[in-house]
Structure 1
Amino acid sequence: MTAFRYRALNPGGKLVKGVLEGDSERQVRQQLRQQKLRPVEVAQANREASPRRGLRLNLFRPRISTAELALLTRQLATLVQSSLPLDECLQAAAEQSRRPRTKALLLQVRSRVAEGHTLAYAMGEFPQVFSDMYRAMVNAGEHAGFLGPVLEQLADYNEQRQYTAQKLKMAMIYPFILVAVAIAVVVALMVFVVPELVGIFAHSQKALPLLTRGLIATSDFFRDYALWLLAGIVLAVFGLRYWLRVPRNRRRWHALLLRLPGVSGLVTAVDTARFASTLSILMASGVPLLEALRIAGQVLTNRVLREDSAAVAARVQEGSSLNRALRESGRFPPMMVHMVASGEASGELETMLQRSATNQERELEMTLGTVMGLLEPLLVVVMGGMVLIIVMAILLPIFDLNTMVR
């Protein structure tokens, strides 16, 4: 059976939407009529609703967030470990979901499993939701007979990713808000306050102080060209995004990031921690090393680091040890290389990779905490300095006028 997305009118004339399973659209329409609903539109759940809505195709692709994927994986792990048949597990997870897209996705996967396909094969029809790593681990778990524990590991992995991403976002919220407020205050002073005060000095024959003249010139610029400046910034942002769509340009940008002091260490730490964690969980699930290296390399966001990981996989395929291949790359942290060497010598490579990832994430968290702790008061000082300059530029001519009166 296939999952179908429908829109129908209830007896009160209200439009309702949902998902049903059926062998064909005709059968689904019959089910809707039996429920006293008038079908308006019925289509397969993983396809666009109608040709007229082609511009909104992306809205109908079954995409779910990391948090939803972690919750879904946790539910499946619990259901599979309770010894229920796989198709019933998927059906139960779909019934528990409140989001129509997630429900449609699960029902589509269930329909493929009910046809006799493996879970990994069924998930392969939705690569935008289930990554190569996810499907490889599910495939390994199915073949080894440990699907439940593998799904538990995947749930832990996705929850950790969500936690790390959320911490990064939370750490950046306050500085961004502070910068936005500072810019808004300065622009408001320049556009609305300073022009009113300039009239006080307009009839003065005495030359204004240099700081005041600079403030007036800046105020005139913002008042006359603020919209053009804003439009230029927006165009520059969109132009940069368009420029980065070209793979060669994106690689240049990523190479530049790896050469910038401070930024290089942050980018490398984030990517290599993700690489080590992914490689660890893949190998613990029984995925062969070469395949695990190929999949783990795809989680790297920096294209230069991704190329280095492909070179590492090539060296390992040629017979080199993993720690030697990582060392020759020169991009991966020395501590990670040493821990990999220890893991290879002791036969606990998966454990050492996970420890390496944990250590890197902890160091990254401490580094971000230190940077944010320094950045917040620094932004306050900078904002206060800008306001002080504006106030001084306004007060200096007033002091001069008082002197002339005396």
Structure 2
Amino acid sequence: LFTSMVAAGEKSGHLDAVLNRLADYTEQRQHMRSQIMQALLYPAILTFFAVAVISILLAAVVPQIVGQFEHMGQSLPGSTLFLIAASEFLRSYGLLVVLAIFLAIAGFKRALKKPAFKLKIDTRQLKLGLIGKVSRGLNTARFARTLSILNASAVPLLEAMRISADVLDNSFMRQSIAEATLKVREGSSLKNALEQTKLFPPMMLHMIASGEKSGQLDGMLERAANTQDREFETLVTVSLKVFEPVLVAVMAGIVLFIVMAILQPILALNNLVGG
């Protein structure tokens, strides 16, 4: 991307303007990356502490309390038996489970280096509801912004589409853009070629068509990218606001289950003594 833009700027004699666009582009990508990291930080910390608290309860607290009932030979309810089984499993195999998770993640990352496997994963990713919507939004915005900069820098459209496709994270979308590039080479309009991929939102396609007709394609592409970025920020903000209370509710439910599983045999023993 940078090499093509600098070369185009040197040929057109507008290298200073091209470098300014590159600086804005880099700043925009850094800003978006920073926003994503900040948005995910609190939920990640909350999830970590939730898992840690529940693990400590199951591995350290529960065995000491529930063990007293086993020594008394008292008949235990199903919830308490389940809690004991979960506690014993965590104490016996907890480290193995953690190790298996790390090995699975490492193996998955290694497998992603194989193009065929990555293509399958990326194809399925786009069908995963919210995750697919986020991935599609990020990549279409990145494509539109990159194509806008290249087009404004006098890079030929076909070359600009090829370079813009290379900056996408999703290999299925890269493949689809490559097919759209062939259609443009055969005489199709940019809007029609991208529409056939079924990856771009209608508003972005409308803005691209308007830019092609008015001769202001770079400006409309940039506006389309800005619109996508705003929609992405809204989607992430709303999703995280929903996720946080849901996580707290799930954690509270698990802790409540643990407390009730401990209290049930105590209450049963009190009723037995009282009777």
Shorter-chain TM-score category? over 0.9
Q: Residue 108 of structure 2 corresponds to which residue in structure 1?
A: 240
CA distance in 1, matches of 2:198, 2:57: 50
User: Could you tell me how far 1:203 is from its partner in structure 2?
Assistant: 2.8
Of 191-200 and 354-363, more deviation after overlay is shown by: 191-200
How many correspondences in the alignment? 274
Q: Residue 337 of structure 1 corresponds to which residue in structure 2?
A: 205
5+ residue gaps in structure 2?
A: none
Q: Is 1:362 aligned to residue 236 of structure 2?
A: no
Question: Given the alignment, which residue of 275, 281, 297 partners 2:143?
Answer: 275
Hey, which of these two has a bigger chunk of helix by percent?
2
Task: Kindly provide the CA deviation profile for residues 20-48 of structure 1, in whole angstroms up to 9, marking residues without a partner as x.
Answer: xxxxxxxxxxxxxxxxxxxxxxxxxxxxx
User: Could you tell me how far 1:334 is from its partner in structure 2?
Assistant: 1.3
Which aligned segments of 4 or more residues in structure 1 are displaced greater than 4 angstroms?
Answer: none
CA distance in 1, matches of 2:95, 2:246: 29
Give the letter aligned to residue 117 of structure 2: N
Q: Residue 122 of structure 2 corresponds to which residue in structure 1?
A: 254
Q: Residue 62 of structure 2 corresponds to which residue in structure 1?
A: 194
Q: Is 1:392 aligned to residue 260 of structure 2?
A: yes
Q: Is 1:142 aligned to residue 6 of structure 2?
A: no
The within-5 A match list for 1:93-132 is none
Question: Given the alignment, which residue of 186, 195, 198 partners 1:327?
Answer: 195
Question: Given the alignment, which residue of 304, 308, 317 partners 2:172?
Answer: 304
- Give the secondary structure class of the aligned counterpart of 1:262: helix
CA distance in 1, matches of 2:243, 2:137: 20
* TM-score, normalised via structure 1 length: 0.66
User: Could you tell me how far 1:145 is from its partner in structure 2?
Assistant: 1.6
Task: Kindly provide the CA deviation profile for residues 60-89 of structure 1, in whole angstroms up to 9, marking residues without a partner as x.
Answer: xxxxxxxxxxxxxxxxxxxxxxxxxxxxxx
Give the letter aligned to residue 15 of structure 2: L
The within-5 A match list for 1:1-400 is 133-400=1-268
User: Could you tell me how far 1:264 is from its partner in structure 2?
Assistant: 1.6
CA distance in 1, matches of 2:134, 2:183: 26
CA distance in 1, matches of 2:84, 2:132: 40
CA distance in 1, matches of 2:6, 2:72: 80
CA distance in 2, matches of 1:393, 1:225: 22
Give the letter aligned to residue 214 of structure 2: S
Q: CA RMSD in A?
A: 1.0
Give the letter aligned to residue 251 of structure 1: L
CA distance in 2, matches of 1:344, 1:312: 16
CA distance in 2, matches of 1:369, 1:199: 45
Task: Kindly provide the CA deviation profile for residues 180-235 of structure 1, in whole angstroms up to 9, marking residues without a partner as x.
Answer: 10110111111111111123212333310111110000000000111111111111
CA distance in 2, matches of 1:328, 1:389: 51
CA distance in 2, matches of 1:208, 1:329: 59
5+ residue gaps in structure 1?
A: 1-132
CA distance in 1, matches of 2:67, 2:85: 14
User: Could you tell me how far 1:347 is from its partner in structure 2?
Assistant: 0.7
User: Could you tell me how far 1:163 is from its partner in structure 2?
Assistant: 0.4
Task: Kindly provide the CA deviation profile for residues 236-265 of structure 1, in whole angstroms up to 9, marking residues without a partner as x.
Answer: 111111221111001000011012222221
Task: Kindly provide the CA deviation profile for residues 329-364 of structure 1, in whole angstroms up to 9, marking residues without a partner as x.
Answer: 222211111111000111110010000000000001
CA distance in 1, matches of 2:14, 2:91: 67
Give the letter aligned to residue 366 of structure 1: T
Of 216-225 and 200-209, more deviation after overlay is shown by: 200-209
Identity rate, percent: 46
Greater Rg, structure 1 or structure 2? 1
Answer 1 or 2: higher relative contact order, Cα 8 Å, separation at least 6.
2
CA distance in 2, matches of 1:263, 1:150: 34
Of 268-277 and 222-231, more deviation after overlay is shown by: 222-231
- Give the secondary structure class of the aligned counterpart of 1:202: helix
CA distance in 2, matches of 1:185, 1:395: 19
- Give the secondary structure class of the aligned counterpart of 2:71: coil
CA distance in 2, matches of 1:166, 1:309: 27
User: Could you tell me how far 1:392 is from its partner in structure 2?
Assistant: 0.8
CA distance in 2, matches of 1:198, 1:392: 12
